[in-house]
Amino acid sequence: MRLTTEQRNLLRALANGSTLKVHRFLDGTKEYRLQALDQTAEIVARSNVEVLQEQGLIDSNKKFPAATFWLTEAGRARLDSSDPHQIAEA
């Protein structure tokens, strides 16, 4: 499956040391935050995280109230591929 620019950027950010967390609230809402090494943070679209999870490119520790995500071996392989288009298409 083809990844969007945002999804590819999210994989690259994780590979470069940024931290992706999902913060769950008691009312059931979830907020995905990407924190860079310089401590700046941005909200990430839930749909982008879900696509990467469904493809097995990221996984999390499933903790409550804040789970942390990481690149899986498949995610690293997608980034490390010698084919520059591999990250765009599975």
75 domain-assigned: no
List the domain range (segments joined by +) for residue 48.
5-70
90 domain-assigned: no
Q: What is the pLDDT of residues 14-61, one digit of tens each?
A: 999 999 999 999 898 999 999 999 999 999 999 999 999 999 999 999
Residues 6+ apart with CB under 8 A from 86: 78
3-state helix, strand, coil in the chain (%, to 5): 30, 30, 40
81 domain-assigned: no
Model confidence at 70: pLDDT above 50:
yes
87 domain-assigned: no
pLDDT at 2: 84
Separation between Cα atoms, residue 6 and residue 15, nearest integer Å: 14
Q: What is the DSSP letter of 55?
A: T
Query: How many domains does the chain divide into?
Result: 1
